[in-house]
Structure 1
Amino acid sequence: MILTAMNIKTNKAIKGVKGYWSNGRFVKPEEIALEEVGPPSKTQLKAEAGEKQALGEALLTLRADLMARLDLPDKLLDALAQAKRITSFEGRRRQMQFIGKLMRPLDAEPIREAINEQLGGSAQLTLTLHLAEQWRDKLVASDDALGSWLTEHPQTDAQQLRALIRQARKDAKPEKPESAGEAPRHGKPYREIFQLVKQALAAQSEGEDKGGVAAQEPEA
């Protein structure tokens, strides 16, 4: 680099001071720091917007209790509710871009933590749902299954469960002889058995952390 006489004199005057020369001017350390913490580049802004939009996608399936804990702005909550109702691809894409924009000023860390908390519990939830489906089908198909269930879950309202099972079996019978080969119909009692069983299994799973007994699959 060719220095002018003035530059040379200036260079001698600040000998020993850290920095660098740029376009004939000596840049001091504090100026370097200011440059480093300057406004983010377009690439950085684009990456951050992409991450916020991805977090917005995850918020669409976040549990209500975790969502409430985040205390998100009403405008964002309304935008998320609108996104759930949009069915067209292009409309949903634009809505998610809008959600990403609304999320830019928000701290992403609490949102990540809430999403991770939900994902961490998903394995146990999947197992509970699987067991509930098995028990429901066994209870509707066999009287013996009811005895096994009541032995493991004595707190169950046996009278209510028996009534639901009777009605579910009645609903499953074909109304006409010609429909005998069709798949059985499943009405409200069938769904209520599932909910009853699922709640009992979920309560048992919570008690497991306090020294309870692990949930078991129904015997074949």
Structure 2
Amino acid sequence: MTKQPEDWLDDVPDNQDEEDEEIIWVSKSEIKRDAEELKRLGAEIIDLGKNSLDKIPLDEELRDAVELAQKIKKEARRRQLQLIGKMLRARDVEPIRQALDKLKNRHNQQVSLFHKLEALRDRLVEKGDDAVPEVLNLYPDADRQQLRTMIRNAQKEKAANKPPKAYRQIFQYLRELAEG
């Protein structure tokens, strides 16, 4: 008697079905995507400066590999990046991702602040003394007289097509007020 294709199920033990359900199959493509994602994360870490790198939770071995990758170029750097990606696979990368996101967000906030300060400076130069109360409302510590002097100087420079020295001074002053 030959077995029918359906009969092979009779030979499988009952607990085998339960074991099959517990196994989670991961495709080769998904494994490759995960590896590429970790390499990208490694590349982001490598691109950080020393101060930013200190804020990322890296163990000593990984930190050494990153510092080495920062020093080397071309093909050796690519191979080192591969190694860092491989090292990241064996670690919990969530704290590293969170630290990177925090650094990026701080950068984005600073860029946003600079854009706001630039717009405020432009309004000051354009409107003159009429815009000074806006600055005083935002920054009560601002020196009205110093601000008015810088505005007049910036307006004179603009009218005479001179380099925008006072224009930059206004931005620096606003930045000091915002950060102080």
* Band the TM-score falls in, shorter-chain normalisation: 0.5 to 0.7
Partner of 2:38: 52
Counterpart AA for 1:108: V
Counterpart pick for 1:151 among 129, 132, 137: 137
| Structure 1 stretches lacking a partner, 5+ long | 4-10, 20-27, 175-179, 201-220
Q: Is the 8 A contact 2:52 2:103 kept in 1?
A: no
Residue 104 in structure 1 maps to residue 98 in structure 2 = no
| Structure 2 stretches lacking a partner, 5+ long | 4-8
RMSD of the TM alignment (CA)?
5.2
Identical-residue share of aligned pairs (%) = 28
TM-score (norm 2): 0.55
Partner of 1:192: 172
Counterpart pick for 2:146 among 157, 162, 166: 162
Equivalents in 1 of 2:59, 2:178: separation in Å?
33
Greater share of residues in helix: 2
Instruction: After TM superposition, give the deviation of residue 47 of structure 1 in Å.
Output: 2.9
Q: Is the 8 A contact 2:150 2:167 kept in 1?
A: no
Instruction: After TM superposition, give the deviation of residue 130 of structure 1 in Å.
Output: 1.7
Alignment of 1:71-150 (within 5 A): 71-77=57-63, 79-80=65-66, 93-116=78-101, 126-139=111-124, 142-150=128-136
Distance change (3 Å), C-alpha of 1:89 and 1:75: same
Equivalents in 2 of 1:56, 1:168: separation in Å?
50
Equivalents in 2 of 1:76, 1:90: separation in Å?
19
Instruction: After TM superposition, give the deviation of residue 52 of structure 1 in Å.
Output: 0.8
Counterpart AA for 1:184: P
TM-score (norm 1): 0.48
Distance change (3 Å), C-alpha of 1:85 and 1:29: same
Number of matched residues?
171
Alignment of 1:169-180 (within 5 A): 169=153, 173=157
Equivalents in 2 of 1:33, 1:143: separation in Å?
74
Q: Is the 8 A contact 1:167 1:189 kept in 2?
A: no
Distance change (3 Å), C-alpha of 1:136 and 1:181: closer
What does the per-residue CA deviation read over 1:112-150, in whole Å, with 9 as the maximum and x for residues that have no partner? 444555667777655433211112344456344333311
Equivalents in 2 of 1:148, 1:173: separation in Å?
23
Counterpart AA for 2:172: E
